[in-house]
Amino acid sequence: MAEQTTVQSTTAATSETADDAVFAARLDRHRDELESLFRMIYGDSPELSTFERAMADAFAARPADLKQLDLAREADPEWYMRGDMFGMTMYTDLFAGDLKKLAGKIDYFKEQKLTYLHLMPLLKMPHPDNDGGYAVEDFDTVDPMFGTNEDLAALTAKLREAGISLCLDFVMNHTASSHRWARAAQAGDPVYQDYYFCYDDRTVPDRYDAVVPQVFPNTAPGNFTWNERMGKWVMTQFYPFQWDLNYRNPKVFVSMMQSVMNLANLGVEVLRLDAVPYIWKQLGTNCRNLPQVHTIVRMMRMMLEIVCPAVVLKGEVVMAPKELAAYFGTPEHPECHMLYNVSIMVNLWSALASGDVRLLKNQLDKLNALPSNCWFVNYLRCHDDIGWGLDEDEEVRLSIDPLKHKEFLYHFYEGAMPGSWAMGELYNYDEASKDARSCGTAASLCGIEKAIITHDKPALETAVSRDLLLHHAMAFLRGFPMLNCGDEIGQLNGWDYKEDPDRIADSRNLHRSKFDWTKAAERNKPGTLQNELWEGMASLRAMRNDPCFAPDAWVTTWDTDNDGVLAVVRKAGERTIVGLFNFTGEAQTAELISIEGVNLPARVELGAYEEKVIVCS
């Protein structure tokens, strides 16, 4: 027995030594750059030593199975770029209730061959004012309404066994006003007041407000809120109950990075960096996309590569395409692994309403011109609204009035324009600027809800064609597709949110309703709406099994001599495929010109809202 114990102790010691060597090698690979960047922002702060100790501690605490996943991902760094990547985003409570119950629904995910699941914020939050979970009270603890940290770790383990990577939001820019740091600041502790931006009078806030745009000018005007208890103005760019963090303070950076590593050790494999362009504030600037933001994200990327290289970063960057490339860094000094493809989402809906793909094609050309390390999560709907941030310079070039086009789009998708099939609502309408955003599920915005209400079977068939056209076009683009939970069964708007006093003020709740399991039960019953969409998503996944969806495939748009038809060409080796998508309600002809090495059909006929994928060689 003593001999067996000795052998076990020797094996454990050997494994620990090997682990130490792995950590040391990773740290050595990044140490010079990491320390240089840290000092660039924070000078000779002793928090650098705290940061490096925190990395060592997190690595030592990392479960053995996750360390094995780290090694596998290091050997396969393009794992998240494979053609079979297929994602879904959802609210835990709306889909299943809590984390334990969600773990019992994994077979539903396996039916869809999901490889990626993004759960909306589930860390401890105040109730009811929490901005859908984006006001975080404790970055290290699951909110009791969803379960416990142990439930989260158990869920991630089951998902990994099913080949599904879990994504969670990491809200970098702010905490809830009820966070322990904010409570200490309100109690008068100057140490924690320095975790935020707190001012005795309006002198500095007014200087910020002179140049910093407002995020929600109607629902949460201004960038500062007076805190009576503290007797100070505090920066709150989003909502008054969300206090902006001061990343000039190295303690803030180190503490937040410790929370990142804690989530990674619970099995989270993808971190969506919420509102990352906003995290660095500097007087005299608009406090967006500043160089220090990229320094922080670069340090974060290196930290992950040292401690938990299985984990990848997904940036939420709602900015113009020219701002996007910087968030990927460079191949030598990478930052985010991938970004939400916000601009293409908006342009897909614009093309559908207008029957004109020119703006969409132009945006795709700009994104396809980005370096090969730039990868996207493509989607049609998510938890958020559709903000009509189109390329105004390109609109002007095409003789499209930007304001009139925006007004057309948001009125179209609320069903207020002649010929509109959509049923949605406005979000954050601003009378002064005439700006507004749009809410609604994909099915309702595509006309399915209106057709059902009016008992119009031909209109329903057309609406389903629109829905599938958009999803297939989205999935054909560079990056990988992500569904909004319920889109796979055509879930409609949840108008009952207007009966809930805690939800009625936010029209985004229109598309944040409980998952309809009764409707989902119809997914395998031929002849049902649910089955038609379910099978349509299956054909989407089959389409992406083609070798032309490899990470290194060449992807480009192609001229069709038709403003209503989008053509996208994919090429891998000697194989070429073309996807053709008719964004109009009439039959169209696409005229294609081949070039050397890309032999395309000269002429393709497409029905209303029809899409075709043609193997060319």
Provide the annotated active-site residues.
274, 316
Q: Is 454 helix (H, G, I), strand (E, B) or coil?
A: coil
Question: Which 8-state DSSP code applies to residue 421?
Answer: -
Q: How many residues does the chain have?
A: 617
State the Cα–Cα distance between residues 318 and 315, nearest whole angstrom. Answer: 9
Bond prior to 402 in cis (omega within 30° of 0):
no
**How is residue 505 written in tokens?**
């003020």
Q: Where are the alpha helices (DSSP H) in 308-421?
A: 321-328, 342-354, 358-368, 392-397, 402-412
- Picking from 341, 268, 353, 277, the residue whose alpha carbon sits closest to that of residue 310 is 268
Residue with tokens 């949110």: 497
Residue type at 230 in one-letter notation: M
Query: CB pairs under 8 A, 24+ apart, for 454-460?
Result: 459/421, 460/529
State the Cα–Cα distance between residues 155 and 102, nearest whole angstrom. Answer: 8
Residue pair 239/135 in contact (Cβ under 8 Å)? The answer is yes
**How is residue 60 written in tokens?**
């030592």
Residue pair 249/241 in contact (Cβ under 8 Å)? The answer is no
- Picking from 516, 544, 349, the residue whose alpha carbon sits closest to that of residue 440 is 349
Q: How many helices (H) and strands (E) does the chain have?
A: 22, 24
Q: Where are the alpha helices (DSSP H) in 43-133?
A: 47-61, 64-75, 92-95, 99-103, 106-111
Residue type at 255 in one-letter notation: S
Phi, psi of 514 (to 5 degrees): -60, 140
Residue type at 418 in one-letter notation: P
Question: Which 8-state DSSP code applies to residue 121?
Answer: P
Residue pair 170/274 in contact (Cβ under 8 Å)? The answer is yes
Phi, psi of 566 (to 5 degrees): -95, 135
**How is residue 571 written in tokens?**
């090429």
Residue pair 137/174 in contact (Cβ under 8 Å)? The answer is no
Pairing status of strand 480-484 against strand 87-90: parallel
